[in-house]
Amino acid sequence: MQRAFPRSRYPVSVLLALLAMGAVIVLASALAPRLLEFGMIVAVAGIGVLAYPVFGLYLMLAFFIAQGSPLYTQYGIFSGAYTLSDAVGLLVLIGYLMQSLRPNRERALAPLRGRGGLAVAVVFAYFLWSALTSIWSPAALGDLLYSYRNDVEHVCLFALSILLLTDLRKVRGAAGAYALTGAGLAVYTILTFRGNHGFDATSLSSQAYRGGLPSTFNANELGIILAVVPAFTAMSVAAMRRGVRVLAMAAVIPITGLALIILTSRGTFVALGVAILVALAASQGYRRRLALVPIVLLGAATFAVLSATGHLPAYFQDRFTQAQYDQAGDRIPVWTLGLQQFADHPLGGIGEQGFETILPSSHIVGSSTTSAHNDFVRTLADFGIVGFGFLVLMITVLGYVAVVDSGRDPAGIVVAVALAVSMLSGTFLQAHWMWAALSIACAFGLVVSRSRPVGTAVHGKLLVGTTALPQDTGIHRSDVPIFYHRGPASG
């Protein structure tokens, strides 16, 4: 059985020295708070990022998700997640190169063959074109540099995920990192709401839908983060016993469901509803479809209990009955302006960050509006028809990898469809958590695709068993079905 993490190539004394150094710096940070982040970075390196790059990738994914949470804007310790994710990402890359590339170059780069390499290439092409458009962008240099930093991080995270998540055990670990982080954010949302309003929030107006979370926080982002937590939970516990799987889903769905009701993000509910319907229709095998039914029923039961006991926030109904898309300063005027900018600059758009630069000073919408609220409209306005073509190509390739290559797994379908639909109501391609979710979903599809067995025809029937699997896939007999083929024998 292959280890989840490879054996360290570094002396134990080196790791202990790094850990001790990190501990000393963290203690010293009591006198100099700015040393805290550096101390944490060294401590993380000491516990094994260099020795175990996959573990570092799990931390990096967790940090990226934390950046889309209210913790990032409310607590100083979590604001360091941005710096920590960069540092950990660099350590992961160094550890990967030191451990795998030089002694096993062909094996290390094997995940980039076929659709793995194509997926990384289309992601790189999209962000490369966005960087080129900065030549004619009206945005300030500081805004452009900030955008470059995000783009580089997204490409690196995606590529490292494809390279490091090479078997089901590692992919499930990454999915577990997302699920645990997201479940923690859901609990935090519930506790914050309970502390500010109680659960009998019948007097709250529609403007209180943030549930007492920071006013600078984007509730729509946290909504999408939480919407895919059950899917990643199912992915992470798929190899465990049935009782554990049932217990995990029974705990996660009510928690995330209550948090989503508190946040009341309309785009999130639309994205999640469409994703579940597509999964029910497109999942391979009736057993997978039936497995979605109790999940849907559990979510509906959570909503019904809240409504029957009078704990459903009054503003929940207001947010869905009072559509504000036609009012000044909201979605339709913003989208109209974006399409007008595309019509004026159809080929290459107005440049990176251009639309968000001109939006606050526009006479069409209010000065408080700073986002396009739609990735497709933003891409058309900023990058023109060329950038939009790269976007469609990227969605097509990544969607195929996450859905078709995964064998139309319900979890992969829910994640891919929910993220794609959410782009209609937000500019989430600029968000770190979006790329954390995409990286895991695509790595899962590629691993499942590579693990499909190919056998040899015998006596007119082809029996494909687990013995035909590569030795380094980490997939066991219970993970892969046995297929029969009644075609003619070949040789």
Give the Cα separation of 387 and 351 in Å (integer): 10
Give the Cα separation of 376 and 274 in Å (integer): 18
Burial per residue of 58-68, b for 16 or more beta-carbon CB atoms within 10 angstroms, e otherwise: bbbbbbbbbbb
Q: Which residues contact 237 (CB under 8 A, 6 or more apart)?
A: 172, 176, 244, 245, 248, 249
Using CA atoms, how far residue 293 sits from 71, 194, 216, 485, in Å, is 33, 30, 37, 31
Q: Around Cβ 284, how many Cβ atoms within 10 Å?
A: 14
Burial per residue of 317-356, b for 16 or more beta-carbon CB atoms within 10 angstroms, e otherwise: ebbeeeeeeeeeebbebbbebbeebbeebeebbbbbbbbb
Which residue in the block uniquely carries the two structure tokens 């506790």?
191
pLDDT at site 259 = 86
Q: Around Cβ 296, how many Cβ atoms within 10 Å?
A: 15
pLDDT at site 367 = 47
8 A C-beta contact, residue 414 and residue 275: yes
- Helix/strand/coil for 159: helix
Partners of 426 in the beta sheet? Answer: none
Give the Cα separation of 400 and 417 in Å (integer): 11
**Which region holds residue 127: left if phi is over 0, alpha if psi is between -120 and 50, else beta?**
alpha
- Helix/strand/coil for 457: strand
8 A C-beta contact, residue 434 and residue 419: yes
Q: Kindly give the residue spans of alpha helices, DSSP state H, lying in 133-265.
A: 141-164, 168-197, 219-227, 229-236, 242-263
Give pairs for 126-129: CB < 8 Å, separation 24+: 126/387, 126/390, 126/391, 126/393, 126/394, 127/151, 127/152, 127/154, 127/155, 129/383, 129/386, 129/387, 129/390
pLDDT at site 284 = 75
Is pTM, for the whole model, over 0.95?
no
For residue 268, the surrounding DSSP H or E stretch is: helix 266-282
Using CA atoms, how far residue 320 sits from 220, 266, 308, 428, in Å, is 14, 7, 19, 22
Give the Cα separation of 129 and 352 in Å (integer): 9
Task: Dump the DSSP string for 98-136.
Answer: IIIITTTHHHHHGGGSTHHHHHHHHHHHHHHHHHHGGGG
8 A C-beta contact, residue 402 and residue 415: yes
Rg value, the chain, Cα: 24
Question: Which tokens belong to 21?
Answer: 């150094």
Give the Cα separation of 83 and 327 in Å (integer): 39
Q: Around Cβ 393, how many Cβ atoms within 10 Å?
A: 15
pLDDT at site 470 = 43
8 A C-beta contact, residue 442 and residue 161: yes
8 A C-beta contact, residue 432 and residue 154: yes
Q: Domain segments of the chain: what residues?
A: 1-103, 112-439, 451-491
Pick the closest to residue 173 from 22, 61, 280 (CA basis).
61
- Helix/strand/coil for 94: helix
pLDDT at site 464 = 37
pLDDT at site 400 = 94
List the pLDDT tens digit at each of the 491 positions of the chain: 444 444 445 455 555 555 565 565 555 555 555 555 555 555 655 556 666 778 878 878 888 887 766 665 555 445 555 666 666 777 677 777 766 655 666 777 778 888 999 999 999 999 999 999 999 998 888 888 888 888 888 888 899 899 889 899 999 999 999 999 999 888 888 887 766 655 555 444 444 445 555 555 677 888 899 999 999 999 999 889 988 988 998 899 889 988 888 887 888 888 988 988 888 888 877 666 666 777 777 777 777 776 666 666 666 666 666 555 445 446 788 888 889 999 999 999 999 988 888 877 776 655 456 678 899 999 999 999 999 999 999 999 999 999 999 888 889 999 999 999 999 888 888 888 899 999 999 999 999 998 766 443 333 333 333 334 444 444 443 444 333 333 444 33
Give the Cα separation of 222 and 234 in Å (integer): 20
Give the Cα separation of 348 and 389 in Å (integer): 11
Question: Which tokens belong to 199?
Answer: 């659960």
For residue 63, the surrounding DSSP H or E stretch is: helix 53-66
Give the Cα separation of 394 and 66 in Å (integer): 25
8 A C-beta contact, residue 399 and residue 416: yes
- Helix/strand/coil for 216: coil
8 A C-beta contact, residue 393 and residue 387: no
8 A C-beta contact, residue 85 and residue 432: yes
- Helix/strand/coil for 462: strand
Question: Which tokens belong to 158?
Answer: 């995606």
